[in-house]
Amino acid sequence: MPNTNYMMSLVDREQMQGLENIREFLKIRTSYDVLPLSFRLIVLDTDLLIRKSLAILIQNGIVSAPLWDSHKSAFAGLLTSTDYINVVQYYCQYPDRLGDIDQFRLSGLREIEKAIGVQPLETISVHPMKPLYEACRTMLKTRARRIPLVDVDDETGREMVVSVITQYRILKFIAVNNEHNTVMLKKSVREIGLGTYTNLQTAGMGDSVLSAIHLMVEHNISAVPIVDANNHVLNVFEAVDVIPCIKGGVYEELQSSIGEALSKRAEDFPGIYTCSEDDRLDSIFDTVRKSRVHRLIVIDDDSRLRGMISLSDILMYVLLYGEENDAVSPDAV
């Protein structure tokens, strides 16, 4: 009869070795290495009207952009879907100020945060030539899903935004360059407790977009799975789905149903990705390698919702599992 304890420890040891190899890889690669050979970067001036910034993001098929303060010639943070969600909250608190919202500029986003009582996010950035490991740790610490790479121009001595890297890009980079290490990650989602399984926030197709936004704000999450009355997963509403909903400055549309909003998704929307609790981490890395996956919805054999695995859950496990104090929590990074 095989000694199961011994077999377990072999799998455990191989898993730990795979994780350590990936961590070493992240320490010898830089954030710059993650960038493709050629890429475009759209930087928005903080004098731009918020309304216009929405149109630019949509036209260019992007969901965030670094901001530039041309008065100070300095990097001024990152515009993301969270900023638009803040504008929505402002609208909910001050509906009679809709006319003002139309005239708000990106420089006014901090005022909006103050008005709705949101703690302003730290303006974080990393130097492109620093180890990628550092960028990952900073992301986990600040809970940022994307981080701008900021360098200093040799000639002018001024800041220069090089690009933005996302958790998605980093995990893709790990997956593509570490197939020999990710095959060592044979433990299942259930065994390593990857993701969230309690207090899951869900919505129905007929619920309003606004209710989904409130759930995201209240629980600090970037996606809400859409389920039917029997908890079967139908779709997922993501923070980035808010952008097309408010593009015309018509905030009443937020009262429309999630079903209607999802029908406005771009044609190249990659779809939702699911997995089971028995899937192994190596197969999750396979999915990351091959697809544009931003989160995995954990379902049972009957397609009922079991849990959510976000890219930050995967990154946190890969970076921190087994580290001193088993510090798999943002506070401990």
Here the tokens at position 46 are 């903080």
Q: Pick from 295, 305, 317, 319: which binds ligand AMP (CB under 6 A)?
A: 295
Q: Pick from 46, 86, 125, 312: which binds ligand AMP (CB under 6 A)?
A: 312
Query: Taking CB under 6 A as the rule, does residue 231 contact ligand AMP?
Result: no
Q: Pick from 106, 162, 298, 308: which binds ligand AMP (CB under 6 A)?
A: 308
CB 116 within 8 A of CB 108: no
Query: Taking CB under 6 A as the rule, does residue 212 contact ligand AMP?
Result: no
Compute the distance between CA of residue 133 and CA of residue 65 in angstroms, rounded to an integer. Answer: 23
- CB atoms inside a 10 Å sphere around CB 195: 22
Return the closest-CA partner of residue 28 out of 129, 131, 127.
131
Q: Which stretch binds ligand AMP (CB under 6 A): 27-35, 64-72, 102-110, 193-201?
A: 193-201
Query: Taking CB under 6 A as the rule, does residue 221 contact ligand AMP?
Result: yes
Q: Give the nearest distance from C-beta 268 to ligand AMP in angstroms.
A: 21
- CB atoms inside a 10 Å sphere around CB 224: 26
Taking the CA atoms of the chain, what radius of gyration do you get in angstroms?
A: 21
Q: Pick from 26, 195, 240, 284: which binds ligand AMP (CB under 6 A)?
A: 195
CB 289 within 8 A of CB 283: no
Query: Taking CB under 6 A as the rule, does residue 80 contact ligand AMP?
Result: no
- Specify the residue, 146 or 265, whose C-beta has the smaller distance to ligand AMP: 146
The site for ligand AMP, by CB under 6 A, has a size of 16
What is the distance of C-alpha 118 from the center of its chain? 19
User: CA angle 294-297-199, nearest 5°?
Assistant: 110
Helix (H) or strand (E) holding 114: helix 109-116
Q: Give the nearest distance from C-beta 136 to ligand AMP in angstroms.
A: 14
Q: Give the nearest distance from C-beta 85 to ligand AMP in angstroms.
A: 12
Here the tokens at position 27 are 């320490």
What is the distance of C-alpha 99 from the center of its chain? 31
Query: Taking CB under 6 A as the rule, does residue 310 contact ligand AMP?
Result: yes
Query: Taking CB under 6 A as the rule, does residue 108 contact ligand AMP?
Result: no
CB 171 within 8 A of CB 288: yes
Q: Pick from 83, 113, 253, 313: which binds ligand AMP (CB under 6 A)?
A: 313
Query: Taking CB under 6 A as the rule, does residue 196 contact ligand AMP?
Result: yes
Q: Give the nearest distance from C-beta 327 to ligand AMP in angstroms.
A: 15
Residues near ligand AMP (CB under 6 A) are 195-196, 199-201, 219, 221-225, 295, 308, 310, 312-313
